């Protein structure tokens, strides 16, 4: 693989870029403290902005050529409205898992598929990934729809195979291979 780290990516409406200290207020306001946004995620909503600042510092301090953590910035206002990250990677099979979240004010506008498609393009074409996967709780079908729009195919459901803020839950696995991407 040809690791490049978290480089800035642009789409029609979005800038995907590295986290910055000054993102804390937008992050806290737009998604980090939201029970609605975090309902099916694995981390609890943040209760204070200082904790968000600590999280940003941890991300910024861990940036390296093989780390991929993007803020989703709305070009129109330069507001941080979400995040998309490589949450795990297997070098031996050139595979990674993506996680994402988005401010509920921006749901239903095609923003997450726009961001995810650009990350998929980058990871296949520039980094050399062979497989990109993501999971979701079946009670969160909108997240599954994002994955479908990005070309990820259903691979199965792990019964009681995960835990999120709703407790132990089933886990739907979807993935796209480089050959799927090349043949789209």
Block residue for tokens 């997450």: 112
Q: What is the pLDDT of residues 37-86, one digit of tens each?
A: 888 888 889 999 999 999 999 999 999 888 999 999 999 999 999 999 99
| Residue ranges covered by each domain of the chain | 9-130
Q: How far apart are CA 138 and CA 91, in angstroms?
A: 28
- The secondary structure element, H or E, covering residue 158 is strand 153-164
CATH architecture label of 9-130? 3-Layer(aba) Sandwich (3.40)
Where is average pLDDT lowest: 35-39, 70-74, 112-116, 146-150?
A: 35-39
CB contact at 8 A, 90 and 127: no
Q: How far apart are CA 2 and CA 66, in angstroms?
A: 9
Instruction: Please give the model's pTM, rounded to 2 decimal places.
Output: 0.95
């Amino acid at each position: 693989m040809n690791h490049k780290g978290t480089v800035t990516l642009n789409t029609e409406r979005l800038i995907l870029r590295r986290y910055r200290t000054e993102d804390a207020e937008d992050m806290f306001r737009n998604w980090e403290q939201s029970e609605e946004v975090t309902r099916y995620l694995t981390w609890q909503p943040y209760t204070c902005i200082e904790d968000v600042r600590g999280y940003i510092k941890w991300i910024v301090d861990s940036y390296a050529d093989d780390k991929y953590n993007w803020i989703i910035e709305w070009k129109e206002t330069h507001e941080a409205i979400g995040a998309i990250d490589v949450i795990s990677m297997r070098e031996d099979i050139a595979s990674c898992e993506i996680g994402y979240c988005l401010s509920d004010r921006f749901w239903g506008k095609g923003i997450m598929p726009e961001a995810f498609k650009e990350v998929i393009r980058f990871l296949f074409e520039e980094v050399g990934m062979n497989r990109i996967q993501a999971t979701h709780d079946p009670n969160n079908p909108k997240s599954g729809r994002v994955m479908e729009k990005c070309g990820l195919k259903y691979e199965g459901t792990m019964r009681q195979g995960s835990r999120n803020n709703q407790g132990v839950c089933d886990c739907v696995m979807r993935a796209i291979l480089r050959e799927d991407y090349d043949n789209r």
